[in-house]
Structure 1
Amino acid sequence: MRLITISIILSCWSKLVFSLSSGDMASMSCLEVASNWQQVEQAQQQGTFRFARDQGPITWNIDHTAPFSEYLAQAKAIISSRNTRAQQNCPILTPVAKQLGYEITDVKVADLVAPFELRHNNNDRAILLIHGLTDSPFTFHYLAGQLYQQGYNVRAILLPGHGTAPSDLQHIELSQWQALVNYAVARTSQDFQQFAVLGYSTGAALAITAVSKNPTENITAMALISPASEPHNKHGWLAKWIAKVPFINWIDEDADFDFAKYESFPWQAAALANDAMATLATQTFPANLPLFSAFSEVDTTIDSLASLAMLERFALDSQRPTTHSLLYYGNKNTAKAQLPKGYNILSPRCDHLTCDSTIDMSHIGILQPPEHPYYGWQGTYRSCGGYLAELPKYLECKKHPTPLLGERTSRNTSYEVPLQRLTFNPTYDDFVAYLTTFLDNHFSTHVQP
């Protein structure tokens, strides 16, 4: 009996300490949480940031006549009511945060994950940005700032179920994602004389479907970054059935220390992404619409060969393959063998000091500059999910002074030195130069800042 009593006391004490440490994390800044990887095991087990507050709606009831400003307000309200970290201090003064008027002392998590708009005093030209699965508009905070400085009006939306907590993705349908993207494309078409759409990962798949089904005369170009064409795992179609099994909710249950991108991953999210990609098989790319793409040959999320096949089909649909460009992070000959004659295939040049430790480009790295204070090479956050099932290696990845950088492949994670999944682009300047040159060339006149 005495042993049982001691066991109960120890169990209660453990739960109390556990609860206190979780509460402490909730009161930290977003940077302190990301740096607190020593408590990753506790956060994983308890799901400290995995679950949203059950307050208010998960998504906006779309009014297709509503101005974009109303959508922004509604989305921010959802984040504020459902995200337990919404009011957590997050002192990251990105170009977008600066342009929106924030000071480093008052930036909150809600401000950085929310959709946004950067406007000039004109309605000439705009870029609509659509993020990917488990992500948020924070992923565009550097690219959007540069596009704005070059004279473009910029909009970024937040897909339903994002910006709050991973559990909200369990209650979302593909039709809700597509409805919001359709609204954003139609609204941007109405508000600006010319516009382009840039989609990242699953956001690229949603953008293609929206533009293909409802082409507008004033869309001048599209850009696809790490586009979701087909999953690397060919059993992705099973996700929608597994998601229906009671009590089997999560593929990954991580700490979710990253305030801007979910680390835990529900089966329902995989099912939604698979359905979004499946719709692409029946989509015809709009004739004469210029297309820019950028992705890695080594991608553990998306099948890069399927992406090349998709680009080949789109080039034939568009009837103008010479207006299509691909920035390919891999063997240029592989892309050249797949794509039609006249396709503009570009190769990045790596001269950043991290190039020697970079093995290959990852699915998630292209959009971020090396100097990014959160995702950059000296940033606060490290992506070590390749070792999620091996806690010692996970912790070594978090603390190693010079980890390898690259995609999360079994080969890359087999080295003695741990692999940090590449969250930034060592050739970012090349990427931005190629993208903006493409955009400038396909608007009717060059954009003036």
Structure 2
Amino acid sequence: MNTPRLSLLLAALAIAQVDAAHGQGASLPLGQTSFAAYREQTRQWLQQAREFQSPDHAAELDWNAPQEWRPEQPPSRGILLVHGLGDSPWSFSDLGPSLARQGFLVRTLLLPGHGSKPADLLDTRIEQWRQLLREQAAVLAREVPNVYLGGFSTGANLVLDYAYEHPEVDGLLLFSPAFKSDTAYDWLPSMIAWAKPWLRAPGPGRPSQTPVRYLNVPTNAFAQFYRSSVAVQARLNTGSYDKPVLVVAAQHDSVLDTAHIRDTFTRRFTHPASRLVWYGSPVPDMPQTPRVLTRSDALPEQRISQFSHMGVLFSPGNPLYGANGAQRICWNGQDDQGMAACQAGETVWYSDWGYREAGKFHARLTYNPYFEWQNGVMFEVLNAAAPALPLTPKAGGENQATALQ
């Protein structure tokens, strides 16, 4: 049997294993017909289901609950943003206000199984994630004439899969899109989830989550990611996607096959205004085109060795993940000495997971030094789909976005 056919067979068997082993598990409520009802019911569910990580429960609820930012003027454009596996709506805490200041009605979703505790992903299914996206995209479309979608990692898979089937979507933002992982065994969790619920079992002294994300997820969660990857690759194989798309990728992403992302952008995202923002070294075999924008991810003056999977979304000024943020991620594939030095507050460098260099200790890079420049590229892509209506600044200052919390 040839390799492509064998891969398809393994994928089908893997998905069947998960389907047989898991039913619709207890999760946050679905089926709301307004964003306000969805957000309120989700906050109520989080209040009961979340394992809080700090005394400040109100802040953790705000960080993990669905969020909305409204522009000053009545919007004609709206965007729905979908986080990645193990993450939360906090992923878009910097991007959301930036989009609202440009006139977008911005909303974030909390995928079922997230925001509460990792064990809630034991029985979560991709169908629940798809249902939530389908419901809230329809809600947004009733409120604004132009609808965009954005996603990070697994969330990028979900929105691209949806957009292929819904031509009314005007454009996409895909951050670290998880079209294909960097491992040849990404199908394996789907085969073993029924027998091995956790690849790394939770235990004392092994933190499973932070105030804004999970650090460990069940095997079933990886299986559902794999299903999203299989689905989006099937969509991409049907042909090009011709709406404007922004793709942002870090060359040294420790999670994804970034060469596959580059190739997918070149072959499938054909609109002249589509852009690939590539953080790394210029790629010799990639055609020289203004559609690909390269920035170095080695910034020694900022103690940055390489960019990471998660860092592309956050501003250097982010209170948790920024250059002086409160959440330093020391668990980054270093040895015990490096881990201890990082936790003790010593000076560290920053990188993707697992990068090592003699004489340096590396924490995770959780912010993007090019964040404002990247926003400028993003707005050019979005405006190519449906230009913004002119905003009328209020006297005495710049337009301000209103966050509904």
TM range (shorter): 0.7 to 0.9
1:398 aligns with 2:343: yes
Q: Give the greater-gyration-radius structure (CA).
A: 1
Aligned position for 2:40: 73
Unpaired runs of at least 5, structure 2: 1-24, 392-398, 400-405
1:249 aligns with 2:249: no
Aligned position for 1:227: 177
Give the superposition deviation at 1:381. Answer: 1.2
Greater fraction helix: 1
After the TM superposition, which residues 40-439 of structure 1 pair with which residues of structure 2 at under 5 Å, given as runs? 57-63=26-32, 66-85=33-52, 88-89=55-56, 107-120=58-71, 122-216=74-168, 219-246=169-196, 248-251=197-200, 253=202, 254-256=206-208, 258-283=210-235, 284=238, 287-315=241-269, 318=270, 320=271, 322-334=272-284, 337-338=285-286, 344-348=291-295, 355-387=301-333, 391-409=336-354, 412-439=355-382
- How far apart in 1 are the matches of 2:351 and 2:257? 16
Question: C-alpha offsets along residues 341-379 of structure 1, whole Å, 9 cap, x if unaligned?
Answer: 756111237898x74411111000011111212111221
| Native 8 Å contact 2:75 2:104 kept in 1 | no
Q: Which has the higher contact order (CA 8 A, sep 6+)?
A: 2
Question: 1:147 is aligned with what amino acid?
Answer: L
Cα RMSD of the aligned pairs, angstroms, is 2.5
Give the superposition deviation at 1:190. Answer: 2.2
SS at match of 1:75: helix
- How far apart in 2 are the matches of 1:285 and 1:88? 50
After the TM superposition, which residues 8-47 of structure 1 pair with which residues of structure 2 at under 5 Å, given as runs? none
Question: C-alpha offsets along residues 254-298 of structure 1, whole Å, 9 cap, x if unaligned?
Answer: 413521010122211111111111111211466531111111111
Per the alignment, do residues 287 and 372 of structure 1 end up closer, same or farther by CA in structure 2, a change over 3 Å counting?
closer
Question: 2:192 is aligned with what amino acid?
Answer: I
Give the superposition deviation at 1:84. Answer: 2.4
| Native 8 Å contact 1:396 1:418 kept in 2 | yes
| Native 8 Å contact 1:383 1:421 kept in 2 | yes
- How far apart in 2 are the matches of 1:356 and 1:67? 44
Aligned position for 1:15: none
SS at match of 1:210: helix
Question: 2:249 is aligned with what amino acid?
Answer: F
SS at match of 1:308: helix
| Native 8 Å contact 2:356 2:362 kept in 1 | yes
Query: Share of identical aligned residues, percent?
Result: 24
Aligned position for 2:13: none
TM-score of the two chains, using structure 1 as the length reference: 0.75
| Native 8 Å contact 1:332 1:345 kept in 2 | no
Count of matched residue positions in the alignment of Structure 1 and Structure 2: 362
| Native 8 Å contact 2:348 2:362 kept in 1 | yes
Unpaired runs of at least 5, structure 1: 1-55, 91-106
Question: C-alpha offsets along residues 7-64 of structure 1, whole Å, 9 cap, x if unaligned?
Answer: xxxxxxxxxxxxxxxxxxxxxxxxxxxxxxxxxxxxxxxxxxxxxxxxx94122324x
TM-score of the two chains, using structure 2 as the length reference: 0.82
Give the superposition deviation at 1:447. Answer: 4.9
| Native 8 Å contact 2:122 2:218 kept in 1 | yes
- How far apart in 2 are the matches of 1:184 and 1:86? 29
